[in-house]
Structure 1
Amino acid sequence: MQVADNTVVQFNYTLKNEDGDTLDTNVDNAPLAYLHGHKGMLEGIENAMTGKDEGESFSITLTPEEGYGERKDDMIQRVPVKHLQGAKKWKAGMMATVHTEQGERQVTLAKVGKFMADVDMNHPLAGLTLIFDLEVVSVRAATEEEIAHGHAHGEGGHQH
């Protein structure tokens, strides 16, 4: 079966930067699953997956615009340290989670004081050209429930 809208795709990936350094991978773990055509994946990955067959491996390069966007200098915000989640002691460069009006968000600490911290709200991969090595592990037709919910269920997908 080929990857098309309303199919559930399970895949493995290795993410590298332009220098070839591995930034993330799920190889040797369970494959990720998503519902194709429902904007649950980076648009560049979904576009590249369209028409691929189960078992197919390929690489793609995404510009910052196709990935997580360009870094924006106006995305530094000051927040109370007590709102940071993920550690007890904080240092610049660490990742934290904060709750925003748009939901939970991962941030990078730019500067930390005793009571306040400057956090970078840019995605950690913003501004980077990203190289994905992708392997389509399986493709199946989505269930009516998955289509209604807008995401894949089961292994690698949403559990409910």
Structure 2
Amino acid sequence: MQIEKNRVVSMHYTLKDHDGNVLDSSEGRDPLSFLQGAHNIIKGLEEALEGHTTGDKLEVTVEPKDGYGVVQEHLIQQVPRAAFASIPDLQVGMRLQAETEQGPVPVMVSEIADDFVTVDGNHELAGAHLHFSIEITDVREATAEEMDHGHAH
């Protein structure tokens, strides 16, 4: 059975960055299962899997625009250090929620200086070329409930 919209796909994967560092993997775990066409995984990977079938092994490179997006400079901001006074052990890499006019936004602390803190609201993999090694372990028709819920059960 081929991968197409409204089919449940199970796969093992290893995700590496452009330098070959492993960022994530299903090794030692159950395969990842998702509903094809429901945007459960990034666009570029979903498109690359279309038409493949159980047993297929493939290498997929996903460009930033089809992965977690390009870096959006307006999501990187310097905030007065005083705004973080309630966080005694503020560190680079710390994940926080910023309160904005549009509601809470997850950010990461990317730099700490004497007078300001730089926070980044981009996804941590924004701008990254993603390299996947994939093995399709199963493809099946989705149940009515899975299609209604928009994800594999």
Which TM-score applies when normalising by structure 2?
0.81
Q: Deviations over 1:67-106 (max 9, x none)?
A: 111112211244954898xxx83311x141427656673x
| 1:96 to 1:44, Cα distance in 2 relative to 1, 3 A | same
Task: Indicate the residue corresponding to 1:96 in structure 2.
Answer: 95
Larger-Rg structure: 2
Distance 1:83 1:132, change over 3 A: farther
Q: Please list the CA deviations of residues 45-74 of structure 1 after superposition, one character each: whole Å capped at 9, or x if unmatched.
A: 111111111121101111111211111221
Cα distance change, pair 42–102 in 1 and its aligned pair in 2 (3 A): farther
Q: In the TM superposition, what are the counterparts of 1:21-32 in structure 2 within 5 Å? A: 21-32=21-32
Whether the aligned pair in 2 keeps the contact of 1:83 and 1:98 (CA below 8 Å) is no
Distance 1:109 1:136, change over 3 A: same
Distance 2:86 2:13 in 1: 33
Question: Match for 2:135: what amino acid?
Answer: E
- CA shift, 1:4, in A, is 1.1
Structure 2 residue ranges without an equivalent (≥5): none
**Contact 2:105-2:121 at 8 Å conserved across structures:** no
Asked if residue 120 in structure 1 is aligned to residue 143 in structure 2, the reply is: no
State the distance in 1 between where 2:8 and 2:85 align: 40
Deviation, 1:34, is: 0.9
Q: 1:97 to 1:27 in 2, by over 3 A?
A: farther
Equivalent residue pairs, number: 148
Give the structure 2 partner of residue 35 of structure 1.
35
Aligned CA RMSD, in angstroms, stands at 2.7
Aligned residue runs from structure 1 range 35-114, under 5 A: 35-77=35-77, 78=79, 80-81=83-84, 89-92=89-92, 94-98=93-97, 101=102, 105=106, 107-112=107-112
- Structure 1 unaligned spans of 5+: 154-160
- The residue identity in structure 2 corresponding to 1:140 is R
- Partner Cα separation in structure 1 for residue 12 and residue 86 of structure 2: 34
CA deviation map 1:103-134 (0-9, x unaligned): 673x32123589x8532001111111111111
CA 1:44–1:102 in structure 2 vs 1: closer, same or farther (change >3 Å)? Answer: farther
Task: Report the counterpart of residue 20 of structure 1 in structure 2.
Answer: 20
SS in 2 for 1:109: strand
Match of 1:130 in 2: 130
TM-score by length of 1: 0.78
